[in-house]
Every structure is written in C-alpha cells, then in structure tokens.
Structure 1
Amino acid sequence: MRDLILGTAGHIDHGKTSLIGALTGTNTDRLPEEKKRGITIELGYAFLEIGDYRIGVVDVPGHEKFVRQMLAGATGMDMVLLVIAGDDSVKQQTIEHLDILRLLDLTCGVIALTKCDLCEDSWLELVEDEIRSTVADTFLHDAPIIRTSSKTGMGIDELKQALGDAAGKVAATEVANLESAPFRMAIDRAFSIEGHGTVVTGSVSSGKLSMGDSVEVQPGSIPVRVRGIQNHDSGSEEVHRGQRAAINLGGVKLDEFGRGHELAAVGHLVPSSLLTVRIHLLSSVRKPLKDRTRVRFHVGTAELFGNVRLLGCSEIDPGKSGIAQIWLSEPAVTVWNQPFVIRLESPVMTIGGGRVLHPEAAAIKKATAADLKHVNRMDSESPDERAASAVYLLNDASFDPASFPRVAGAIDFLATYDRLKESGELVETAISQTRSVCMHRDRFELLGAQVVKTLTRLHEANPLRFNHKRNVVENEFAWLKQKELLDAVIEHLKKEKTVFANVQSVSLAGFGPKLSKGQKALLEELLKQLRAAELKPPTAAELQKSATKNKESVPELLEMAAENGDIIKVNSEYYFHAEVFDSAQEKIREAIETGGGMTMSDIRTLIDTSRKWAVPLCEYFDESGFTRREGDLRVLA
C-alpha cells in the first residue's frame, strides 16, 4: 500500500467538510465553535482507502480569515481536492486557494462540484465552463470535474475513482519516494493529554519514525524521544512518509514549541533567519514587489514576518520572478527547493511565493556578478553545480559535505564532494594531519586578491618596510569565520611566488623600501655606527638623537635594516650589527661545545662587553632558541 496526503481547498461554505464526511464517514469539524457555526476554523483530518492507496485527508478552512491555517494544512499535501459549490461557482477565496496551491508546487488534483442536487444541469454547465477558464493556466487544467452531492450521495463513487487515478499519478513521481530520506514532519498541532504528556500531529514529508527513536524539535534543537505513535487514530509501531501521524513525545513540555516547529532526525534541519530564495509574484497583484518590503512568510506550518532584500533588481513586476534574500523575524528550518508563500503584512493578501534556493546562505550586501551567477545556479538541474554554488554562498563558513542533501538536494553527497574536488571547483587545503578546510574556487581566488590588495596597501603606507607582521595582516581579515582559510590562501600565494611568508611576517613579491638619497645616506651612517660600536652599541634613541638629518626616519630605517638582516634587533632598545653579532654568537657556541655551560659573567668576559649589553644579548639568545638556561648556566639549545 502507498500512503499519500490529500488536502482540500475552496471557498467558505462550499461543502468541503460535508464532502469529506461523505467520502470517509468522518466529521472533521472537531471544535464546538466549528460545529456551532458550521465552518472549519482549524485543520481537520480523516482517512480514506482507495485500491492500493491509503490517503490521509486534511480538511482546511475556507474563510479568508483562516488562510494561515489553510497554508499550514497545505504542508505535505501530495494532491488536492478543489471544492466548488455548484450553486455559487468560483469565488475570490477559491482563486486565492488555487494560487497558493500553485505556489506550493502541487501537480495533481481533482475538482469536486458540490451541492449539485440544488442546481439545474444547464446552470452546472455554465459553472463548469467558468471553472475550466479559472484553472486553464494551472496544474488542474485537465483535472476531472465531478458533480457531487453530500446529501444524496451523488457522484461520491465517481469522486473516489478520480481520486484513485490522481493517487496513481502522484505515486509515480519522485516526490512520493522519500521514505529513505531523513525523517521530517512539520507540526500543525500540539496538545497535552493527561497521563501521556505532549502530543504533536502532522503530515510526514520524508523518512520514517519508530517507537523509541530519538529525534529533535526545530528550531531550538530540543531533543525528544518517541513514546507513542498513532496513524489515523490507531496505535502503530512506525509511521512513514505520506502518512498523518500523532506522536507522543517524551522529554519536552508543551509550552516549548507549537505550530511552525518541525520534528526531524537529529542534525537533519538547521535553523536560519536568512534564506536565499527565488520569488514569483502573482500576475493578479497590482503593484511590483519592491526591495525591503515587509511580508508574512509562510513555510511549512510556520508563519513569520520577513524583510525582502532583492538581488540584482529593485523590484519584481507582477507575473515575474526574481532572486532575493529574506531576513526573518525568527529562525525557520527549510531545505533546498522547499516552496513557500508570501503575503502582504497589510492588507493581508497572498502576493506570491517561490522556492528556497539556499536555506542558510551568508548575507549578500551588494550582489556581484559572481554572487548572482551562483544564486542562479541553485536552480540548475545538476546536483553537482548546485552543491558547488551552495559552498560559494556559504562564503567562508565551514561546511560538511553531509549537508549537501539539505542545502543543494545532492543526495549522494560523498560522490558529489569527490567530483567537485577532482574538478577543482572546490579547493581543499590540509591544515593538520586530521583537519582540512574547503572553499569554492571563486571564493579562494577572491580571498587571494584581497590578500594582495591588503599587502599592497600596507607596503604603500609603510614604504620603508620589507615585510609586515603576520598578526597585522591577520587583523585585516578578522571577519573571516575560519582563520585557517587565510593561512591556506597565503600558503597558495607563497607557492606561486606572489608573496613571501613565514610564521612571523608576510610581504608582497616585488615590494621593498624605496629610499630617498638622504635616507640612503642616513642608513649607511647608522650601519657604520653600529659596526664601529661592536658589542657596545648606542640605544635606538641615542642613534636618532645623533642624526643630523631625517631624524624621523631613524626608527623605520632600523626596522628595515633588521628585516633585511643587516642588523639584529635584540629588544626595542638595542640593535647589533649582524657581522658583530654573528661573530659573538659563534665564539659562544665554540666555548660551550668545548667547555660546557657558561654563566652570564663568562659570556660577558668572552665577548668583551659589559652587563649592560650582555643581559639583553643573553635573553635574546634564550628567546631565539640558541641557548637554554639551566640554573645559572646557559647551554646550547
């Protein structure tokens, strides 16, 4: 048996609930107010078995005030029963429900013409003509129109046959074959039963769930366990895709969640307040959708407020489509290609909908040509292209290939990841024996260009420096979520000989100090003074004070000479000429290798200096790893 979900749609008081009662024997009006007023306010449920198909029926409200309930009920529908009263014909709410069903991408359904016992055949023929005109450009353009009467039983058997035929068409599509996917069920109702605790209901959209399973409620990552399952009012050990389910949960309180939340396999869904989407505006809408419009966003069973940020355009005309990012008032859980509906905040009316292109993309503040290219590629028929662009749209955030089914609809995620690495579209760089970082090639190249631009600016701002401290460069990229990506890019640029880099500094190839004639003369004089002073050099301040011209350049010239290796900077105060320093260090090495450890007094005597200079020298030897202290002695490190 194949399980499917059938939903009703149509104007208020067109006989949806009565028709479901005639089909199933179940009165789906369950609230006292519903029974008193004779209208459906909340969602109602019934069960119908036709041939090889078990069909869960969701009866939705028809009143315009309850469209949000209708949208919640439409979640998980496989096919629709559009109900139109023969004595009233097509009404405004009929059209809005039909628009919503189109936006939610339903593909199959049946049209029931109700209350036909009250109408003449000639009138019904006119109504049928109007219906055909209304559905001409929709998925119901060739759907059968069945004349029925819930009172007399007219057409009920023919309607069941038509629903069975529609079920056969749906069962042949890919949508109905998601039992092997991770479990997911949008919650359309939550309540508490004394002695049992919290119960949630919904239509299972993918996967299966068994007694005792551990799942989670999202948004919120609330861990829960399955204590009981009912399917169509009967106890069950398991529920799967295409079934209506009531699930008794342990480990959670009723006030922690409700409609708009989802029950899902652990890790399957990730909440996000930012979605990248493609929006289609209904042709019946009078005005274009403008950038920054505030809307009611309906996805799954959730209704949230959101701000639309259009990408690549300032407005979307009626009947047209465009790409956008929607900033939601609260996090939602979605997957790639999931349909949604948008309604105006005021007046409340359905204006369009679309599909989620990326359920957790990074913000795009000013869309570049590359950004637009990759957003549009999320519509590609190729899972590999979608997966690659999904990584690009994450920007520099870390990702797990196991998320490809959720963010790009790429089910065979490991094979997809391997193909993208092999093609070079994804760049993976090892940062340790157990960890690597990965980035889209376009992002990697863009980050490399930003590093070059940053180093160019630093070189131009500091013309006397050969290189720049690595932490200074890293601070320029503090916005990166993964610092390792910067390391990977610098290493790549180093291999290409675009930059020179070590653990302490980074510089751009081809850049170096550009000295004036006076600065060159001053540098030569500074080196001469330090060479003559041997191991008793003047301080940096004394060197600057003794300069007759370009005094302000002395600190930068000393730093430049140290970076170039002409002098050794042992601390902020003292610089030693490199030749003098190397000679002293070699004497110390030979003395320690021959006689063992040396005290500072021994070192001072050996290199003929005083404690004033011997202390900073010995400390530098320790810090640089040349010597190591053992008590009062220094040995070779």
Structure 2
Amino acid sequence: MSNLIIGTCGHIDHGKTSLIKALNGFDGDSTKEEKQRGITIDLSFSNITKLEKNIAFIDVPGHERLVKNMIAGAFGFDCVLIVVSASEGIKPQTIEHLEILKLLGVRDAVLVLSKADLISKEELQIKLIDIEGFVASYEFDIKFTMGASIFQEETIEELRDRLFKLEASSKQEENFFRYYVDRAFSLKGAGTVVTGSILGKPIAVDEKLFICDLQKEIKVKNLQVHERDVEVASISNRAAINISGLDAKSVQRGFLISKKGYLRGFKSIDISFNAISDKALHHNRAYSIFIGSKKLNAKVLLFSSEDSLQSGYANIKSDEDIFSIFGEKIIIRDGNESVAGGVVLNPINDPMKKQQKLLLLEALYKKDIAKAYEILTEVHKKGLGLISSAQRFALSHSNALKTAKELKNSFIDEKELVIYPLSTKEIIYKNIKGIYTKNQYALLSNSSIKLRLKWASEGFIQVVLDELEEESFLIKDANLYRSSQIKEDFTSSLLNIVLERLEKESLAPTAPYNIYDDLNLDRKMGDDILKSLCAKKQVIRLQHNIFIHHQSLAMMVDAMRGIIKKEGYIDIANLKEKYDLSRKYLIAYLEYLDNFSDITRDANKRMLLNIDIISHENKNLF
C-alpha cells in the first residue's frame, strides 16, 4: 500500500478540522477544552483509504499561541492542505504557517478555499487566482486549487477524489529508522504506546529499538497503522508502537526513537540559517529551537557576527543532548514569533579551530562531502570512523565508502571502516621503528602493536610493517616481526632475558603482560616463554599472573618455615611484619605453603605438623 501524509495549514477558524471531518468523518477536536472553545489545540491524526492508497491527515491548530504544536506535526508532512476561508482570505497565521512550511522544506501543496458557499462563484474564481498567486510566492508546488464547503457534498467528493490522485510519498528513505514521538500514553492491557511518523527504514514487530533521549533499549510488542495491526511499518506511515519495558510517563513529545548505535547526542550542533522576511538572528541570544516534534531552549552563537545576521552559519548550544542528522530542518522562534529556519550541517560536535569549522560548514553547505572528509581527517588524524557517516552526512555505508575511496592522500581501512590521512602513517612508522631500535630483542605481531596504538587499525599497521620489511629493517617470522640485526638464537636470548628479569625482581615479580610490554614481546610469544621456563622449573607459577624465579620462591619458603618455628604459626599479619609486600603476594605465598604435606591450616593460620620431617614430595616442589 502506498502512503501519503497530508497536513493542514491555515488561520484559526478557517475550517481545517471541519474539512477533515467532512472527508473522513473524524472529529479532531475531541478533548473537552477543544469542544468548549471551538478550536483545535493539539495535533490530531486520522486517515482515508482507497484501494491500495492510504492518506494520513495531521490536523494542526491555527491559533498564534499554538504554533509550537503546529511545528511538531509539520516536519512529517509529505504534502500540505492549505485551507483559506473564501470569505476572509489570507490572515496572519496563514502567512506564518506558510513561512514555517517553506523553512521546513515542504513543497507539495493543495490549496482549498473553504466556506465557498459564503461567496458567489464569480467571486470564488477571482479569489482562487489571487490567493494561489500569493501562496505560490512561498515556493510551493501547488498540485491543484479549488473551493469547497462542508455544506456542498459535491465539493467534498471532488476534493477527496483529487487527493487520492496525488502521487505517493516522495520522502527519501533515510539510512536507518528514525521516529519522533508526538504522543505517549498507556492502554489498559497493552502498556505504553507512542505515536509518530516514520522517517527512515521500516520496523517490524519484535524488533529492538532505542530511545535516544533516555539511552534505553525497548522492544516492539505491537504495531498499528491507523488502528490496524501490522507486522511492518514503513516511511510516511503514521504508526502507533506498543513498547515494553517503559512507563508512558517517562516518554515525552519530541523524544527520538531509532536503532542503537546510529545516533550520538551532542549539546552543540552547527547549522546554516535564513531569517524570515525582515527578521534576524542575534548573537549569543536564547531562542526556542524546534527539531522534529521536539522543542528545546538553546543559545544561538553566530560564526561571522557578534551582532545579528539574516543568514549565515550558527552554533546551537543547548543544556540537553540533540540527536540530529545532516540536512535536518529546524525552526527558531523567539517567544511567540518565528524568526528563522535552519538546516543541520554538522550534527556531531568535533573539537576544532574556528577557521577549520567554517571551512567544514562551507563544504557541508555545498554538499561537498569529499571536501568535508578531507577537513575532518585532518582534525581526526588518528582515524575518522566511516560508520558515523550515516548521522554526519546522511550517507549509506556503501556511499560513504565510495566517497572515501575517491580521496587522495588518505588510507581507507575497509574492514574496520576507518579513514586516516596518509600523514598519520609516519606516526606509526616512527613508533614501530623506535621500539625495535630501543630493544633489539623486541618480537611483536600486528595485534600486539595495536595494543600499544589503540587508535590505529590493523590494516594501517600492516602497511607500515610491510614497508619496514621491504626496507630490511624487520624480518617476518610466522606472524611475528623481529629485528634484522639479531643473528643469534632468538628464543634462547629471550628466555634468558625473562629469567634474569624475574630473578632481579625477587619476591615482587611484575605481572606477565607488563613484562611483555616492557620487553616489547608479543603476548603469545611471552606466554610461550613463561611456559617453557615453568616446564624447566626455573620459574614457578603461583597464580595466573604471578610467576616467580625458583630460587626466590625457595628462599621465601625457608623464611616462612622459620617464622612458623619461631612463632608457632604464620598468617598475613606476621608475614607482612617481615616482608613489606602487597596483599596479593602475601596470599600467594601462604597458599603455596598448602602444597606441602607437613603444613596444616587452621582458619587463616598455617602450622607445621612435624617440623623435623620434610618429605621427598616437598623437595620436588622446587
């Protein structure tokens, strides 16, 4: 089924809600306050269906004090139904609605002069031409113009038929699911339900979603599109999502639901903007920012002025995280006045110099993504993740990779999806060469180098290792690299180096991984060396991370036996009096005593069964 979201637009009491009711029987003014005051206060949602086409209506309030509610619905419009009273013509709120829709990028429009029964046919034709010309000046693509009255059934039928002839939604499907909440409530027996318009990829029942503002994962229990249960909901569907694991009171209008891992929130984003007519944005002033169905308070900082501008670049700085994507439209208001519209250029806050930021914004404004990549890789010399391109540039994975591959002086790791400036290769080169120059017995693999250079991908490291091998600086042995300067038996040398180190460290030996790092040894090779030393009983393993020279251990065992003979027992307290070691070593040595057959234990104290007998078995422990 094809979908189309049509929203209303127009001045208060020009008949928007009555027109929707005439089309589909739905009375949008359903609350007690709306019925008492006779006006639409909040958004209402309804639809009509014919064959394989569904039209969803978002009816918005026309009162000047309720424009914030109008904006909350307008971001999801595919087409706008501009309603103007035939008897009253264009009014102030009509104009403000048109300005907001223009700033939000809504272009497809239908113009209906309501209450057409109040004027003559001749006067209606004149007004149709006149008002269409006015509306067209706001750059709308007007699909058709007509007069209608809820008291003239034939005009309602004609309007309904012409609406169904409109083309389906032409919204470009985003690279991932996005959905702004416009309502949240609880249903008995179902739980929490949220409603909104789908902007990105489809979702299905049982899928996991992520509420960005709460940083909470949720699950889709059920999906409805216009009160019909469905398995899948797609772009331009008005969808109600029944979610589990969340109280409705914790969800607010404007919360953004997506998939986990796609969007990061920032308290600062960069935009381009254009002010309405003779208005301007002022530097360092607080405004209300409307993005999707969300309203937030933020300061606007201009890039090129400390006074005011009618157009340019600005930074939006808020106290709460903003979850946005490249190209998203925003509205900026000051009190009850709309001031400007903006386009999100930089939804990810990168620390950079002002001049770099301006160059980036200019590239993004021109949609020169290749240039933007160049600027960002100079900022992120230690790697720019291509996975962020979905949010940063609204690019799919394949398009991001394609654009990155076209860059000069860059290295693209397609496996880890990271882009580096080629100049960064020199950092890796100097680092690796420095290791082997400082320690000629270094023996490292690609993965062990990555443990030192956590920002570098294995693919980028391999490029440098290959170059060092070509230069005959390194020799590859299986997956390990050794200095070409070493000619003697490499393994024997390393065994002796490790053994001598453990002997020097005596009773407080360094943890294995620290030894490997200090000696620049690959971890697997280091493990193999310790296993070999243990097999020869030159080194004893006390615990998984404590390896001690056999002579040091023998000395400690003799000393502990001496304490037992003198004091009748040994525990942590009297052992620490003699040896100021950390608790982990003291416990390890005491537990080692438990291996001897002439040692008994009472609670935390060890004692000798017979101090004159040391069995052959005990001697073999060394």
If the TM-score is normalised by the length of the shorter chain, which range does it land in?
Answer: 0.5 to 0.7
Structure 2 residue corresponding to 1:223, chosen from 217, 222, 234 = 217
Structure 2 residue corresponding to 1:301, chosen from 293, 297, 318 = 293
For structure 1, the 5+ residue unaligned runs are: 452-481, 496-592, 601-622
Residue 118 of structure 2 is matched in structure 1 by 118
Distance 1:397 1:75, change over 3 A: farther
Paired positions, count = 454
Distance 2:207 2:124 in 1: 52
Distance 2:417 2:413 in 1: 5
> How many Å apart are 1:354 and its aligned residue?
1.7
Distance 1:158 1:315 in 2: 52
> How many Å apart are 1:224 and its aligned residue?
0.7
Distance 1:184 1:484, change over 3 A: closer
Distance 1:151 1:337, change over 3 A: same
Residue 200 of structure 2 is matched in structure 1 by 206
Whether the 8 Å contact between 1:191 and 1:254 is mirrored in structure 2 is: yes
Residue 289 of structure 1 is matched in structure 2 by 281
Residue 335 of structure 1 is matched in structure 2 by 325
Distance 2:326 2:40 in 1: 32
Distance 1:317 1:158 in 2: 46
Whether the 8 Å contact between 1:212 and 1:227 is mirrored in structure 2 is: yes
More off after superposition, 401-410 vs 131-140: 131-140
Root-mean-square deviation (Å): 3.7
Whether the 8 Å contact between 1:21 and 1:28 is mirrored in structure 2 is: yes
Q: Provide the secondary structure at the position in 2 that maps to 1:7.
A: strand
Q: Which amino acid aligns with 1:95?
A: I
Structure 2 residue corresponding to 1:243, chosen from 237, 241, 245 = 237
Residue 420 of structure 1 is matched in structure 2 by 404
Structure 2 residue corresponding to 1:350, chosen from 338, 341, 348 = 338
Q: Tell whether 2:390 aligns with 1:405.
A: yes
Distance 2:40 2:320 in 1: 29
Q: Which amino acid aligns with 1:307?
A: K
Write out aligned runs for 1:67-466 (5 A).
67-140=67-140, 142-165=142-165, 167-168=166-167, 171=169, 173=170, 175-177=171-173, 181-285=175-279, 288-314=280-306, 317-318=309-310, 321-344=311-334, 346=335, 348-363=336-351, 367-368=354-355, 370-389=356-375, 395=380, 399-411=384-396, 413-414=397-398, 416-417=400-401, 420=404, 423-424=407-408, 426-427=410-411, 438-439=419-420
Percent of residue pairs identical: 28
> How many Å apart are 1:400 and its aligned residue?
3.0
Whether the 8 Å contact between 2:110 and 2:142 is mirrored in structure 1 is: no
> How many Å apart are 1:631 and its aligned residue?
4.4
Q: Which amino acid aligns with 1:362?
A: D
Distance 1:232 1:632, change over 3 A: closer
Residue 606 of structure 2 is matched in structure 1 by none
Whether the 8 Å contact between 1:383 and 1:410 is mirrored in structure 2 is: no
Q: Deviations over 1:467-511 (max 9, x none)?
A: xxxxxxxxxxxxxxx9858xx99x99xx9xxxxxxxxxxxxxxxx
Whether the 8 Å contact between 1:75 and 1:186 is mirrored in structure 2 is: no
Distance 1:241 1:436 in 2: 28
Q: Deviations over 1:124-143 (max 9, x none)?
A: 34533542343232232644
> How many Å apart are 1:49 and its aligned residue?
2.5
Q: Which amino acid aligns with 1:373?
A: L
> How many Å apart are 1:317 and its aligned residue?
3.8
Whether the 8 Å contact between 1:84 and 1:90 is mirrored in structure 2 is: yes
Q: Which amino acid aligns with 2:346?
A: H
Distance 2:220 2:325 in 1: 24
Distance 1:94 1:109, change over 3 A: same
Distance 1:624 1:299, change over 3 A: closer
Q: Provide the secondary structure at the position in 2 that maps to 1:163.
A: helix
Distance 1:125 1:221, change over 3 A: same
Distance 1:45 1:396, change over 3 A: farther
> How many Å apart are 1:264 and its aligned residue?
1.5
Q: Which amino acid aligns with 1:311?
A: F
> How many Å apart are 1:266 and its aligned residue?
2.2
Q: Provide the secondary structure at the position in 1 that maps to 2:199.
A: strand
Residue 48 of structure 1 is matched in structure 2 by 48
Whether the 8 Å contact between 2:198 and 2:234 is mirrored in structure 1 is: yes
Q: Provide the secondary structure at the position in 1 that maps to 2:220.
A: strand
> How many Å apart are 1:109 and its aligned residue?
1.1
Q: Deviations over 1:240-278 (max 9, x none)?
A: 111111111101112222101022222232222111111
Distance 1:418 1:61, change over 3 A: closer
Whether the 8 Å contact between 1:50 and 1:160 is mirrored in structure 2 is: no
Distance 1:208 1:141, change over 3 A: closer
Q: Which amino acid aligns with 2:385?
A: D
Whether the 8 Å contact between 1:384 and 1:410 is mirrored in structure 2 is: no
Whether the 8 Å contact between 1:60 and 1:73 is mirrored in structure 2 is: yes
Whether the 8 Å contact between 1:3 and 1:53 is mirrored in structure 2 is: yes
Q: Provide the secondary structure at the position in 2 that maps to 1:14.
A: coil
> How many Å apart are 1:55 and its aligned residue?
1.1
Distance 1:291 1:193, change over 3 A: same
Q: Provide the secondary structure at the position in 2 that maps to 1:405.
A: helix
Whether the 8 Å contact between 2:111 and 2:142 is mirrored in structure 1 is: no
Distance 1:396 1:61, change over 3 A: farther
More off after superposition, 108-117 vs 120-129: 120-129
Q: Which amino acid aligns with 2:390?
A: P
Distance 2:203 2:323 in 1: 19
Residue 468 of structure 1 is matched in structure 2 by none
Q: Deviations over 1:187-210 (max 9, x none)?
A: 000011122211100111121121
Q: Which amino acid aligns with 2:209?
A: V
> How many Å apart are 1:119 and its aligned residue?
1.6
Distance 1:115 1:266, change over 3 A: same
Distance 1:342 1:125 in 2: 37
> How many Å apart are 1:386 and its aligned residue?
4.7
Q: Which amino acid aligns with 2:347?
A: P
Q: Provide the secondary structure at the position in 2 that maps to 1:72.
A: helix
Distance 1:98 1:631, change over 3 A: same
Distance 1:378 1:436, change over 3 A: closer
Distance 1:215 1:435, change over 3 A: closer
Distance 1:383 1:371 in 2: 14
> How many Å apart are 1:280 and its aligned residue?
1.1
Whether the 8 Å contact between 2:186 and 2:192 is mirrored in structure 1 is: yes
Distance 2:137 2:308 in 1: 21
Distance 1:416 1:64, change over 3 A: same
Q: Which amino acid aligns with 1:13?
A: D
Distance 1:422 1:143 in 2: 41
